[in-house]
Structure 1
């Protein structure tokens, strides 16, 4: 298996959408036929089996055991922007399902992903890596409670009814927030979400009017441009908190200059979450031990499967050679047997880089 990627560790998180577009162009240009594309707020990655592919310039490239190790680390949450977050498991599962549905995921590639999901669950069950507030939404709400106190009586506006906007709205409902306003470019989606959480839906054209009414605005859309700019928020004549969970940013950074407006960005929340990284290091080491154990087991399983496959091939080729000895020259039969064995054993050996890279002592 191969992996090509750019994540929050290599580039600014706001450049992830651009990296994602470049990676999709790579998939098309290389005519990949066996791949899974993983795109989240903080990563753009493609995992594939196809051989003879030249990785794009500027992207990280790994293969074999290192590619699988990275996938396991991602599934366990230790490669996330907010270490330990659990949403990545759902995102991996969804990426796999999309690849299967679109017909570009072999059983071999799917096994890597199902194993990663299993190991991700195991790591969370056996360690404390996901304890505490680790989702970006829960971090935002905890931060707001520290600033504003009781949130139930506050008036919230959620801009965006996609994945993140929906999580925010549901979290507010679970906290018994009394007034939840929702606005989305597609009004029908805002209506559906408002119905689910007991809120009120508004068209995008009403956004400026709503700014004057609410205490907190959550901006969580996938728009590639700014939605809330400094000039639009100048109308706020009361204390207003704006939380921007969009990637790329949907809120203009300069609104920090407004006297009545306070901005909380995606990066602000992630920095807050990782302040206690030293406390999580022990759990990260425990997760890495689980990953190493799984990789060792994977090598043993792979070796066993290779042996079973090689023995099956050997028996068939010997039976075929014995039949041919009755009518062909022994030298030719033996030569054809050796050539056929090399061809049939080379393909699975070439793909089993996890084993080959393991070394002679494994």
Structure 2
């Protein structure tokens, strides 16, 4: 079986494509069930964030095309369109890619920490959906251990340069007196929580957090002295907001052009800075056409993020080295596991032959046959049965000139030679011949 990592991310696909390929939380269980039901796939996990959608599967040799076809059908996209922006990695390269994703080396924001939490959520969801077997279970656990080592031994997590930080950094450049700005945050996930914290630390204390449930919004806004509202209250809050940052898992836009136009009239056309971090988008693209709105998406944050990448580049180089050690460790463990499986299979085969020969011998003894002959027959049959398959394989290897197998055969089939051989005992005649006259 082959380990496969297949997906798209912010470097290979536009936000318009990414939002079509993204999985909503409600879709994930169904998607995992469909993947696991396919005969070519024995294990599966799905990672879906605003910047990437990736599938990790244990498949047969044809798995790559099967998974790509399934992904296009699930999201009703032409497979040719998906192929243009998809990437795939196999076995060790898949392991290396997953580890790089886990520590933030493949993120838009180098070293951003949120992706590890998102990966752990993807692992847990796949586990609950019974999508994980021994291969992916061990891979994820090994990856989490490597990610912890990278975070502990390098400075990859220092100097906050997350998407949330980049959004706040960009907003601070728009307003002369940033601390007097009013901010409306839509959503109550980890990204919005980080945005709220960064805004508060930057001096913006007039915060409003809007969410489907007020209780969750209050958990973010209350510690920062902010206000919590529900989604239906957004139109009124828009009239006061200088900064709007949105990141939800809603399948349809929350802010439409008409809603924003009405708010701008109430604001007497004071400008509004908006950042839509969500995929699918929370803010209709047409909102960006309004004269007094500065609308940015996650793709627009790339320039800000690039400025901060250099602060983590040294740590990233150290992380790459640790990941290589992690991949080597994974390879070593996998070889040991594979060897163990071979040994267990070989022992089961030998024990089955033994049990069959024993039962046949016991039947003969029960019929009163001569015990000596029964034992001789048992030894003869058992030896023949144990040697039959290796003998046939060696004949085939010789006829096909499979030199590698023929050279390895003595180590597998022949007992090792002793370190030294005891010289033969002298015979009586030899003693007589050696006696001086």
**Length-normalised TM-score, structure 1:** 0.79
Instruction: For residue 88 of structure 1, report the CA deviation from its aligned partner.
Output: 1.0
Paired position in structure 2 for 1:295: 327
Query: Do residues 244 (structure 1) and 260 (structure 2) align?
Result: no
Deviations along 1:191-222, whole A, 9 cap, x unmatched?
A: 55444544323333332222221221112222
> 1:118-197 maps to which residues of 2 (within 5 A)?
118-148=145-175, 151-173=178-200, 177-191=204-218, 193-195=220-222, 197=224
Out of 60, 63, 66, the position equivalent to 1:51 is: 60
Which segment is superposed worse, 242-251 or 252-261?
Answer: 252-261
Offset at residue 303 of structure 1 (A): 3.0
**8 Å Cα contact 1:76-1:84 kept in structure 2:** yes
Measured after TM superposition, the shift of residue 180 of structure 1 is 1.7
The residue number in structure 1 matching 2:44 is 35
Higher helix share: 2
Conservation of the 8 A alpha-carbon contact between 1:159 and 1:220 = yes
Asked if the contact 1:158–1:169 (Cα under 8 Å) also holds between the matched residues in 2, the reply is yes
Partner of 2:230: 203
Listed one character per residue, the Cα deviations across residues 134-184 of structure 1 (whole Å, up to 9, x for unaligned) are: 211112222223333564443211122234333333444555643221223
Q: Which moved more, 1:211-220 or 1:310-319?
A: 310-319
**Rg larger in 1 or in 2?**
2
CA distance in 2, matches of 1:315, 1:223: 55
Counterpart-to-counterpart distance in 1, 2:329 and 2:220: 45
1:223 matched to 2:250? The reply is yes
Q: Mapping of 1:1-362 within 5 angstroms?
A: 1-21=3-23, 24=31, 27=35, 30=38, 32=41, 34-51=43-60, 53=63, 54-57=66-69, 58=83, 59-148=86-175, 151-173=178-200, 177-191=204-218, 193-195=220-222, 197-234=224-261, 235=264, 236-237=267-268, 238-275=270-307, 277=309, 282-315=314-347, 317-318=349-350, 320-321=352-353, 324=357, 326=378, 329=381, 333-334=385-386
Rounded Cα–Cα distance in structure 2 between residues aligned with 1:162 and 1:209: 22
Matched-pair contact (CA < 8 Å) for 2:45–2:132:
yes
Tell which deviates more after alignment, 106-115 or 29-38. 29-38
Quick one: distance in 1 between partners of 2:259 and 2:282? 13
Deviation of 1:87 after TM superposition, in Å, equals: 0.9
| Residue 102 (structure 1) shift | 2.4
Aligned residue for 1:111, secondary structure, equals helix
- Residue 281 of structure 2 aligns to a residue whose secondary structure is coil
- Kept after mapping to 1: 8 A contact 2:50/2:277: no
SS at match of 1:44: strand
Distance (Å, rounded) in 1 between the aligned partners of 2:59 and 2:177 = 54
Asked whether the equivalents of residues 22 and 49 of structure 2 are also in contact (C-alpha less than 8 Å), the reply is no
Whether the 8 Å CA contact 2:7–2:52 is kept in 1: the answer is yes
User: Which 10-residue stretch deviates more, 143-152 or 259-268?
Assistant: 143-152
Q: Say if 1:213 and 1:36 are closer, same or farther in 2 by CA, change over 3 A.
A: same
Distance 1:129 1:165 in 2: 22
Q: 1:232 to 1:108 in 2, by over 3 A?
A: same
Asked if structure 2 preserves the Cα contact closer than 8 Å seen for 1:77 and 1:120, the reply is no
Q: CA deviation at 1:113?
A: 0.8
Q: In structure 1, how many angstroms separate the alpha carbons of the residues matched to 2:127 and 2:321?
A: 31
Contact 2:110 2:161 in 1 (8 A): yes
Contact 1:219–1:250 under 8 Å retained in 2? yes
Deviates more, 1:49-58 or 1:2-11: 49-58
Aligned partners of 1:305, 1:156: CA distance in 2, in Å? 54
Give SS of 1:223's match: coil
* Higher mean C-alpha deviation, range 289-298 or range 15-24: 15-24
Change (3 A) 1:319 1:209: closer
Contact 1:92 1:117 in 2 (8 A): no
Q: Provide closer, same or farther for how the CA distance between residues 14 and 326 of structure 1 changes in structure 2, counting only shifts above 3 A.
A: same
Provide the aligned C-alpha RMSD in A.
Answer: 3.3
Question: For residues 297 and 185 of structure 1, do their structure 2 counterparts lie closer, same or farther at Cα, with a shift above 3 Å needed?
Answer: closer
